[in-house]
Amino acid sequence: MGFWTGLGFTLLISAFLILPVLVSVLPGITANQFEGLSSGLTTRWLREVWANYGGTVLLSLQIALSTLVITLLVGVPAAYVLARHAGVTARLVEEALVMPVAVPGIATALGLILAYGAVGDLRASWLFILVGHVVFCLPFMVRAVLAVLLSMDLKGLEEAARACGASWPQRFLGVILPNIAGGMLAGSLMVVTLSLGEFNMTLLLHTPFTRTLPVGLADAYTALRTEMASAYTLIFFVLIVPLLSAMQWAAGRADRVGAVR
């Protein structure tokens, strides 16, 4: 395949993927969705969305960042233990962690409601949604970090640090973590993306007072407010694209630093 043929094919696929995105956000910045750009640009729908649904955007960010912190605190040590004690038991634990991903989100949400829905006021709190997001996103963090740990000579690295007199906390914090930074950032990228866009599980876990961005977006489409839904989608992209770009840049930088080491 020649260069120009490959380039043309790539551009065609890119246009195929990007076109629905452009079409979905266009009504949110035009005065009349039926007339398109000829009706003029407006920020009316964006202002209405922020006035009516701004709380859902902030709550989604709060849940996504909280999910990220918890999955890092739990997932990184879990991946380390699985890598240090590889065997049948570790494989079974790893497969058990992936189960929530294989099961439909609605089924997982129903299980959480039945198991923990009657615990105090948890059902009415945003923390209940956070629990669901952690259950769903944790396997992605564990898998991303575990892949990096298994690709290195973990025991040899620790033995070298031990020979230099480093204690276990020093070995873990000063040697292991810097070497798996790329995996942690890759996992963070997946966790934030999945949490911000998670809908199936959140649809059952939310209440009228704990509505997230995807649920609010679905409500706007259900109400046939295309302009509002489109503006909602645009706000989502404005939030997620810079965040993901920054995290991808950080992940690439971590990989380059690791390669130099």
Give the pLDDT score at 256: 64
Per-residue model confidence as pLDDT tens digits over 239-259:
777 777 777 776 666 666 555
Higher pLDDT, 209 or 239: 209
The average confidence (pLDDT) of the chain is: 82
Give the pLDDT score at 18: 82
Residue pointed to by tokens 């497969």: 95
Give the pLDDT score at 134: 94
pLDDT band at 133 (very low <50, low <70, confident <90, very high): very high
CA distance 245 to 241: 6
Q: Which long-range contacts (CB under 8 A, 24 or more apart) does 169-176 make?
A: 172/80, 176/80
Higher pLDDT, 66 or 101: 66
Average pLDDT over residues 203-212: 88
Res. 201: pLDDT tops 60: yes
Give the pLDDT score at 259: 56
Lowest-pLDDT range, 73-87, 121-135, 194-208, 237-251? 237-251
Average pLDDT over residues 35-47: 80
Average pLDDT over residues 172-177: 83
pLDDT band at 71 (very low <50, low <70, confident <90, very high): very high
Give the pLDDT score at 21: 78
* Residue ranges per structural domain of the chain: 36-260
Lowest-pLDDT range, 100-104, 150-154, 208-212, 256-260? 256-260
The correct CATH number of 36-260 out of 3.30.70.100, 3.90.1150.10, 1.10.3720.10, 1.20.120.160 is 1.10.3720.10
Write out the DSSP string of 175-211: IIHHHTHHHHHHHHHHHHHHHHH--HHHHHH--TTS-
In the 8-state DSSP scheme, what is residue 217?
Answer: H
CA distance 214 to 186: 23
φ/ψ of 33, rounded to 5, equals -65, -25
Per-residue model confidence as pLDDT tens digits over 104-123:
888 888 889 988 888 888 88
In the 8-state DSSP scheme, what is residue 172?
Answer: I
pLDDT band at 128 (very low <50, low <70, confident <90, very high): very high
CA distance 76 to 143: 10
Which residues are bridge partners to 41 per DSSP?
30
Whether the Cβ atoms of residue 200 and residue 104 lie closer than 8 Å to each other: yes
